[in-house]
Amino acid sequence: MNTVEQHKQEKHPLDVVDDVYDYADEELSFEEIEERAGGGEWERLKWAGMYAQKQEGYFMIRTKVPGGKLTPEQAEVIGEVTDDLAVAPEEYGGEEQNELWGDAYLDITTRQDIQKHWIRVEDVPEMWDRYDEVGLTTVQGCGDSARNVLGCPAAGLDDHECFNAQPVIEAVSDFFTENREYANLPRKFKITITGCAHDCAQSQINDVGLVPAKKEIDGESLYGFHARVGGGLSDGPRMGSELDVFIRPEDAVEFCRAVAQTFKELGDRNNRGVCRMRYLVEQMGAEKFEEAVRDRCTIDLPTGGQNLTVGYQSDHVGVHEQKQDGLNYVGFNVIAGRMGGDEFAEAARAAETYGTEDASVRLATDQNFLITHIPDENVDDLLAEPFAQEYSPDPGAFSRGAVGCTGNEFCNYAIIETKKRTKRWARELDDRIDVPDDIESIRMHMSGCSASCAQPQIADIGFRGETVKLEDEDGDDIVEGMDFGLGGSLGADNEFLDWVESAVPADAVIPALEQLFEAYSADRDDGEEFYEWCRGVDNGQLRSIMQGADAPVARGVAHGD
């Protein structure tokens, strides 16, 4: 048994939530917490949504937002709590801790969570009290259990949705949150559920992905879900496998429970390197895995029906008409997902001011957010608000597609800085590169290490942090750099990107991208997306282009070396 498993056996990880109140009450230091509860407490605190920051004495706290959907009141509380409690101490720069964002900022994540930094344990009960009043939680934001359940941020609003799956998302989330039987799984367990034909909820890269389907049962045509299982990124990325099942919306909780039960019983608890559910699915094969789920399911699952997914939509930025007459939702662009707590609260108040009583603030998997239910006559006023100038719904293509993980500012695993770099590069690339007029977004994702919090494998351009050793006449120098990948996408033509070049010094990346886009603009077929063009060009030639060689582009050769 590995040490994390031992820590989970010593004390049920959900019990840590009550203990946090004692640690806060007694204002215990990190050493005192460790003395009282042992070293395993740092692992168990993840079940409270708390990650020890690399700056000792402070936590990152993750708030779960099922389907990304917040009431304006909830969003306002999140913004205000950030402003009041996520405050960098003077010894780390205080209000000037971060050159771009100051302090008291929040991060919207690719799993529709909110992360805050610089939280002290003594402030956690106050945060939880304020959260309780509006129905928010951080419980199981992290740890080996069901994480935040993803969904389409435009659920219930968009014309191309088959049905609104938000109630199913909330039912599944409610089932798993604080459920002691399923709170200790072999590893984290990620679920996504959508009723939309455009799969922005990323079913292919989650442990469980439910997507819309239709089936004739007893003469009745019913909407429900098809299931994909065993998808994921990081080391050993894998697209989910389809199971031959049809799941009625009312059976979705039981289906997800049966999958969790299968994982709980059969998953590997020994080797954390290979214990995500995708390894189990790979090892068993989809058919045997389906059999195991059916054996553990209390309902008889019909075989699959008609798949209704037609494509993949990577963002909701811009002003969009809702299917409800006269109403709109507006997708705002938050480069790298980071914004001030005060700005988020301001956006929440704007939702209340300009929206109808159904208005909401919704977090998207591309780290942006939406404000919904804005009547036609209020759209211009909403767009004139100060926060809308910084987080424009009409950004440049690189800004629109920019995603960044936490990076070495706070993350113990990071090799490079990511948030500031993502924002600066996105803005600079928008200034320097003319992308073809029909290309709205270039998905550029930056992870600070080989983990995939920024999902680089599904991006047009993906980076993962590396150190680079440079040799010059002054001797050796170690600088920040990155592995450089091209050509990823989800959807019907899903494919992970190819890591085309390794350990590129950070300073060389923008010139390399300028060369690539020059070649792409000159050579692309009508309507060809950047990732499609990259897939059609040999990696050796992509490398030559990046290095400035001006040989003509040879098309139609095999992707890869």
In the complex with ligand SF4, the residue whose CB is nearer, 145 or 406, is 406
The residues near 526 (Cβ < 8 Å, ≥ 6 apart) are none
What is the Cα–Cα distance from 17 to 15, expressed in whole angstroms? 5
H helix intervals, 38-122: 41-44, 72-85
* Positive or negative torsion for Cα 52, 53, 58, 61: negative
Residues 389-418: x/- map of binding to ligand SF4 (CB under 6 A)? Answer: ----------------xxx---x-xx----
Locate tokens 């990823």: which residue? Answer: 488
Give yes or no for a contact between 207 and 232, defined as CB atoms under 8 angstroms apart. yes
| Rounded least distance, CB 357 to ligand SF4, Å | 37
Q: Which is nearer to ligand SF4, 230 or 407 (CB)?
A: 407
Q: Are strands 327-332 and 318-321 parallel, antiparallel or unpaired?
A: antiparallel
Our finding on whether 110 is near ligand SF4 (CB under 6 A) is no
- Is 406 or 441 the residue whose CB approaches ligand SF4 more closely? 406
In whole angstroms, what is the distance from residue 303 CA to residue 284 CA? 20
Q: Cβ closer to ligand SF4: 337 or 395?
A: 337
Write out the two tokens for 491.
Answer: 């959807």
Length of the chain equals 561
The nearer residue to ligand SF4, 6 or 412, going by C-beta atoms, is 412
In whole angstroms, the minimum distance from the beta carbon of 455 to ligand SF4 comes to 9
- Tell me how many residues contact ligand SF4 (CB under 6 A): 12
- Least distance CB 470 / ligand SF4 (angstroms): 22
Q: Which is nearer to ligand SF4, 114 or 449 (CB)?
A: 449
Q: How far is the CB of 107 from ligand SF4 (least distance, A)?
A: 10
User: What are the backbone angles phi and psi of residue 349, rounded to the nearest 5°?
Assistant: -65, -35
Number of Cβ within 10 Å of residue 358's Cβ equals: 13
3-state SS class at 556: coil
Q: Shortest distance, CB of residue 202 to ligand SF4, whole angstroms?
A: 16
Please report the sign of the dihedral spanned by the C-alpha atoms of residue 110, residue 113, residue 117, residue 120.
negative
In 3D space, the residue among 274, 1, 313, 41 whose CA is nearest the CA of residue 155 turns out to be 313
Under the binding rule (CB under 6 A), the answer on residue 457 touching ligand SF4 is no
Q: Using the minimum distance from each CB to ligand SF4, give the nearer residue, 395 or 407.
A: 407
CB of 447 to ligand SF4, least distance (A): 4
- Least separation in angstroms between CB 451 and ligand SF4: 4
Give the shortest CB-474-to-ligand SF4 separation in angstroms: 30
N-term to C-term CA, the chain: 40
Q: How far is CA 189 from CA 263, 435, 436, in A?
A: 9, 38, 40
* CB-nearer residue toward ligand SF4: 74 or 457: 457
For residue 224, give the nearest of 286, 163, 151, 290 by alpha carbon.
163
CB of 515 to ligand SF4, least distance (A): 27
Q: Please report which residue ranges of 12-99 form alpha helices under DSSP H.
A: 16-25, 30-37, 41-44, 72-85
**Least Å distance between CB 325 and ligand SF4?**
42
Measuring CA to CA, how many Å separate 219 from each of 163, 212, 222, 301? 20, 19, 9, 17
Query: With respect to ligand SF4, which residue has the nearer C-beta, 8 or 445?
Result: 445
* Spatial separation of the C-alpha atoms in residues 295 and 186, rounded to whole Å: 20
Which residue, chain included where needed, has tokens 């939280």? 119
Of 266 and 451, the one with the shorter C-beta distance to ligand SF4 is: 451
Q: Would you say 340 and 348 are in contact if contact means Cβ atoms under 8 Å apart?
A: no
When the beta carbons of 245 and 454 are compared against ligand SF4, the nearer one is 454
Residues 436-455 that bind ligand SF4 (CB under 6 A): 447-449, 451, 453-454
For the bound state, the minimum distance from the C-beta of residue 51 to ligand SF4, rounded and expressed in Å, comes to: 10
Give the residue carrying structure tokens 């304020």: 130
User: What part of residues 120-139 is at the interface with ligand SF4 (CB under 6 A)?
Assistant: none
Give contact residues for ligand SF4 (rule: CB under 6 A).
405-407, 411, 413-414, 447-449, 451, 453-454
